[in-house]
Each structure stands twice: as structure tokens, then as C-alpha cells.
Amino acid sequence: MAIKRRLEIEYHIDKMSIPYEEKTIPWVNSWGNAEFTSSKDFTANIKLWKDGIEPERISETLKELRERAESFRVALKYLGNHHISFKEKDWPTYYFDNQELTIRNEEEIAILIDYLHGKRESYALCNVELPTPNVTGSGTTSPILLPQRMPSIPSNIHWMAETLVVAGEQINYPDLMLKLAFLIIEGLKAERDFDENETKFKLVRDFVSHPTCNFREVVKFIEAELPTAKIDNKVQFKRDKSDHISFVSKYAHQALQRAKELFEEKAQKDGGFIKS
């Protein structure tokens, strides 16, 4: 049976870190459909499509599918696949009754619309057969079950996900980890007041953000928690002192965990899905 009015796009994913099981799983979403296949050697493919698409809606639908793919890529990265390669595979495909047409650019979409409305005799440009990449693996079996829902992060907070990924990699620079984590906490503050721990994160953030800090609340807190940082009526963070690094590292990891909690709540509220 012919597929009618379907627009489809596919991506190849390489350099994944999470060892998913080698399996194909369908995801039915409110905006359309997706099919994810995890393969050997930490590679995968995802196919996204939407049915009932008339020729005039190809451009807007293609943009939407690519945005959905990007939200999936960011979610995969946030979940631990920090160095993935995410590439569009071949060209988007449009199914119209018994015809399968490839689309390479906006100009070809205009030609396709004319052709399907009988204004052109042929659409040769879109019928070019393209080779499918040959992906091989080493036989590694992926032990982690594939998610039953398609992970995605709303586009308005992609920057937060990317920031948290970078923050998590700053093991040797806890002051930077703390600054990045607190950037998210502060960005999600809205009308909510900081709780006791978040207030501490702010004080430590201020402590590491200045060559010397004389803010009254910061000095009072740091003097009690880290006496070696006190210089006259100020406090100073020194990266060459192990007790300073340990102190900041403790709060950096706590801040990062809190930032992730707030971020995931925001993602869920905005219609995304990260993990169950």
C-alpha cells in the first residue's frame, strides 16, 4: 500500500557514550512519529516523519522536523552522550501517493509543488538515487533499555542544557562549574526566592568571582566556613590552596545537582521529556 503525503527525514548518530541495547523502537509523538535504532559500536539512527502533509506544507514541516531532531540531539547530549556526531542522512523524502521524491533545497520544493499540481511534466531532480551509508560495528551488546518516550528538550532552553553539559565537565575547575551551575539556577529563579542552599551557592559564587570580595554577607559566610580565605576585611579565593578547592568543589557539585533538578522541571513543564 502506497504511503500518502508523508515527509520523512533521517539522521545518523555516531560517538555515543550510553550503551543502549541494539534494538529499534517507535516513538509516537503529538507532532508526528519517530523510529530510533541503536546499533553496534555506539552508533544509531533516528527517522522522523509526519503524515498528511500536502506539498505546500513541505517547507514548514521540514523545518519543524529538523527542530524536533535538534531537540532530540540536545537531550541525548544532556543525558551523557557529550561528544556525539549527529548528521542528516541523505536527503529528506516526500511520499506522494505512489511516488517517492527526494528534496535537497527550497528551489526543489517549489519545483515539486508545480509538478504535483500538473504544472511540470517531470521532477527528475528529486528522483536521484543516493547511496545509503554502510555502518559497521564490532558486536558490542548494549545493556541499557531504550526509553519508551522520545527524549527532547524545548528549543527555548537548549542553551541551559549545553551549559550544564559544560559545567559537568569542569571537574578540575570547581569555581567555573559553580559559576555555570548558578547561571542556570539564577536563570530559573523567576518569582521564586532562593532557598537556604541556593543562597549559599550565591555567596560562594560571589566569593570566586572577584579577586577579593568585601561584600558583607559573603565575608561573614566565608570567614566562618573557610577561615584561611580571610584577608583583613575581605575574602580571597586562591586556586593553589587545596582547602579552597575542596570547599568550592563541595558547593559546586551541590549547585550543579540543584541546577539539573530545576532544569529538568522546566523542561517537563515546557513540554519536553528527558527521563522517567
CATH number of residue 51's parent domain: 3.30.310
For residue 220, is it within any domain?
Answer: yes
- pTM (two decimals): 0.82
**Pick from 95, 111, 88: which is nearest to 3 by CA?**
95
Residue 132 burial (C-beta neighbours within 10 Å; 0-12, 13-18, 19+):
exposed
For residue 1, is it within any domain?
Answer: no
Judge if 225 and 174 occupy the same domain.
yes
Final residue in a domain of this structure, among 127, 144, 179: 127
Judge if 19 and 67 occupy the same domain.
yes
For residue 107, is it within any domain?
Answer: yes
Provide the pLDDT for residue 73. Answer: 97
- Is the distance from CB of 13 to CB of 84 less than 8 angstroms? yes
Residues above pLDDT 70, as percent of the chain: 85
Domain count, the chain: 2
Judge if 90 and 169 occupy the same domain.
no
Backbone angles phi, psi at 256, to 5 degrees: -65, -40
Judge if 95 and 196 occupy the same domain.
no
Interval 115-137: pLDDT, tens: 565 665 544 444 433 333 333 33
For residue 276, is it within any domain?
Answer: no
Interval 174-233: pLDDT, tens: 999 999 999 999 999 876 789 999 999 999 999 999 999 999 999 999 999 999 999 999
The residue segments making up the domain with residue 97 are 6-127
